[in-house]
C-alpha cells in the first residue's frame, strides 16, 4: 500500500538492484549478521609508539610521507604556505618538506605541481595565475625551492639556473669522512641499468679515465655519449668518528649529482640514502654498530632513516633590470637533521649555527 506513494521508476530501479544483489543468491543469516557487527565493534589496532625519541621521529617521517599522498590539495597548499621563506612581486620561496614529490609519477597521487594553482590563489586572490616551478628537488630532499608568479619570470629564473648564475649550497650528513676535507669532484654521470635479481636503473659515474688492470696505469677512455658533465664542490664542516657533515655546492645540475658524487666518487654515501649506498641491489643502507648506537637504532629500523640532504642556501642575481641587489635565501634544516647532528656529535661553526637558527 505504502509503495503507491513512490514513483514507478524508483520501484523499478529498486527491484533491479535487489535482483542483482548478492543477498538474493546467498541470504545473510542472523548469526552472520551478528558476527559482522561484532567485527565492526572491535577496536582497531593502534601502531605501537616507540619509547625512544629517535625511533618516534623515524616513525613520524614515514607516516608523514604516506600522509602527503592522502591530503586534499587545499590542505597541502596550506602546509606549503606555512613554510614560505620569502616572497615578492616576482617569486615565492618555500621550504620543501621531506617526502613530498615535486612532479607526479607512478604511485604519486599528490605533488607540489598539483597544488601550485591553489597556493597562488591563497597568496594573491582568486584571479591569480598558477605559480610556476623554477627548478626541482628530489622527493627526499628538503629546503629552499623557488616558484615564479608568472611564466616569463619562471623562464628567466630557469635560465639563471642553466647558466650557473644561481649559487646553491646544501648540507649533508655522510657516512665516513672524505679525504681531502675540501675539494672538487669532476666526474661525468650517466644513467645505467643494474642487472640483478631486481632489475632497476641508477645514476652512476662515467669517468674519462680508468685504471688499467695490467700495468696499473691510467688510460683515457672514450666518453660515453649519454654521460653528462657533473661538478660538485665540497667542504667538511665537522666530523666525529664514523660520520661527517658536509657543505656542498653543485656547479652543474645533473639528476642525483650530489648523491652519486658522494657515494661513488668520495665513498661517503649520505645518511639515509638507501638507493646509492649499494650498487648491485635495492636494500636498506648498512650502518656500522657505532653509528647505529649513536643514533639509537637497530639495523632493521635503518630502512626508515630519511635522506639527510638539505638545500640550505640559495642566492639569486637580480631578476629584473631595475633591481640591484642579489636575493640571499636561507633555510634551517628539519628537526630530524638537527637531532642526527646532536646524536652523532657533529657541531657547526658559530656562523653556521646562526644560520640554522634563522627562521
**pLDDT tens readout for residues 132-189:** 999 999 999 999 999 999 999 999 999 999 999 999 999 999 999 999 999 999 999 9
Q: Where are the domains of the chain?
A: 53-356
Residue position matching grid coordinates 646544501 = 170
Q: Is the pTM of this model over 0.75?
A: yes
CATH superfamily, domain 53-356, is Pseudouridine synthase (3.30.2350.10)
SS3 sequence of the chain: CHHHHCCHHHHHHHHHHHHCCHHHHCCCCHHHHHHHHHHHHCCCCCCCCCCCHHHHHHHHHHHHHHHHCCCCHHHHHHHHHHCEEEECCCEEEEEECCCCCCCCCCCCCCCHHHHHHHHHHHHHCCCCCCCEECCCCCCCCEEEEEEECCHHHHHHHHHHHHCCCCEEEEEEEEECCCCCCEEEEECCEEEEEECCCCCEEEEEECCCEEECCCCCCEEECCCCCCCECCEEEEEEEEEECCEEEEEEEECCCCCCHHHHHHHHHCCCCECCCCCCCCCCCCCCCCCCHHHHHHHCCCHHHHHHCCCCEEEEEEEECCCCCCCCCCEEEECCCCHHHHHHHHHCCCCCCHHHHHHHCCC
Which residues does 252 contact at the CB level (< 8 Å), separation at least 6?
164, 228, 229, 230, 231, 232
Alpha-carbon distance of 140 to 337, in angstroms, equals 12
Mean pLDDT to the nearest integer, 55-65: 66
Between 353 and 104, where is the model more confident?
A: 104
In the predicted model, is pLDDT for residue 47 greater than 60?
no
Min mean pLDDT across 58-67, 233-242, 273-282, 333-342 is at 58-67
Min mean pLDDT across 39-53, 192-206, 251-265 is at 39-53
Tell me the catalytic residues. Answer: 138
**pLDDT tens readout for residues 75-125:** 899 999 999 999 999 999 999 999 899 988 777 778 899 999 999 999 999
In the predicted model, is pLDDT for residue 353 greater than 80?
no
Between 20 and 274, where is the model more confident?
A: 274
Which residues does 151 contact at the CB level (< 8 Å), separation at least 6?
129, 132
**pLDDT tens readout for residues 294-337:** 998 899 888 889 999 999 999 999 988 777 789 999 999 999 99
347 phi/psi in degrees, rounded to 5: -115, 135
Min mean pLDDT across 12-16, 33-37, 273-277 is at 12-16
In the predicted model, is pLDDT for residue 13 greater than 50?
no
Amino acid at each position: 500500500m505504502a509503495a503507491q506513494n513512490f514513483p514507478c521508476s524508483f520501484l523499478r530501479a529498486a527491484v533491479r538492484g535487489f535482483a542483482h544483489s548478492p543477498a538474493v543468491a546467498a541470504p545473510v543469516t542472523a548469526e552472520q549478521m551478528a558476527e559482522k557487527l561484532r567485527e565492526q565493534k572491535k577496536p582497531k589496532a593502534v601502531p605501537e609508539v616507540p619509547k625512544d625519541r629517535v625511533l618516534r621521529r623515524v616513525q613520524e617521517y614515514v607516516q608523514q610521507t604516506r600522509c602527503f599522498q592522502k591530503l586534499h590539495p587545499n590542505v597541502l597548499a596550506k602546509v606549503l604556505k606555512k613554510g614560505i621563506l620569502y616572497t615578492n612581486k616576482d617569486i615565492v620561496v618555500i621550504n620543501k618538506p621531506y617526502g613530498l614529490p615535486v612532479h607526479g609519477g607512478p604511485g604519486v597521487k599528490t605533488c607540489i605541481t598539483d597544488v601550485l594553482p591553489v597556493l597562488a590563489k591563497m597568496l594573491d586572490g582568486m584571479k591569480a595565475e598558477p605559480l610556476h616551478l623554477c627548478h626541482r628537488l628530489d622527493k627526499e630532499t628538503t629546503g629552499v625551492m623557488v616558484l615564479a608568479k608568472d611564466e616569463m619570470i619562471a623562464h628567466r629564473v630557469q635560465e639563471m639556473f642553466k647558466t650557473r648564475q644561481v649559487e646553491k649550497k646544501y648540507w649533508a650528513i655522510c657516512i665516513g669522512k672524505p679525504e681531502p676535507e675540501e675539494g672538487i669532484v669532476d666526474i661525468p654521470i650517466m644513467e645505467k641499468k643494474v642487472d640483478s635479481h631486481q632489475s632497476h636503473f641508477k645514476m652512476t659515474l662515467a669517468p674519462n679515465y680508468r685504471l688499467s688492470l695490467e700495468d696499473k696505469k691510467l688510460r683515457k677512455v672514450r666518453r660515453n655519449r649519454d654521460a653528462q658533465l657533473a661538478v660538485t664542490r665540497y667542504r667538511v664542516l665537522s666530523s666525529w668518528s664514523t660520520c661527517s657533515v658536509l657543505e656542498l655546492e653543485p656547479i652543474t645540475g645533473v639528476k642525483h649529482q650530489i648523491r652519486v658524487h658522494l657515494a661513488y666518487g668520495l665513498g661517503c654515501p649520505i645518511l639515509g640514502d638507501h638507493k646509492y649506498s649499494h650498487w648491485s641491489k635495492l636494500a636498506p643502507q648498512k650502518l656500522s654498530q657505532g653509528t647505529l648506537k649513536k643514533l639509537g637504532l637497530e639495523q632493521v629500523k635503518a630502512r626508515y632513516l630519511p635522506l639527510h640532504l638539505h638545500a640550505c642556501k640559495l642566492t639569486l642575481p637580480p631578476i629584473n633590470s631595475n633591481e640591484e641587489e642579489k636575493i640571499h635565501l636561507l633555510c634551517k634544516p628539519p628537526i630530524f637533521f638537527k637531532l642526527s647532528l646532536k646524536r652523532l656529535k657533529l657541531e657547526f661553526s658559530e656562523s653556521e649555527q646562526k644560520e640554522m637558527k634563522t627562521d
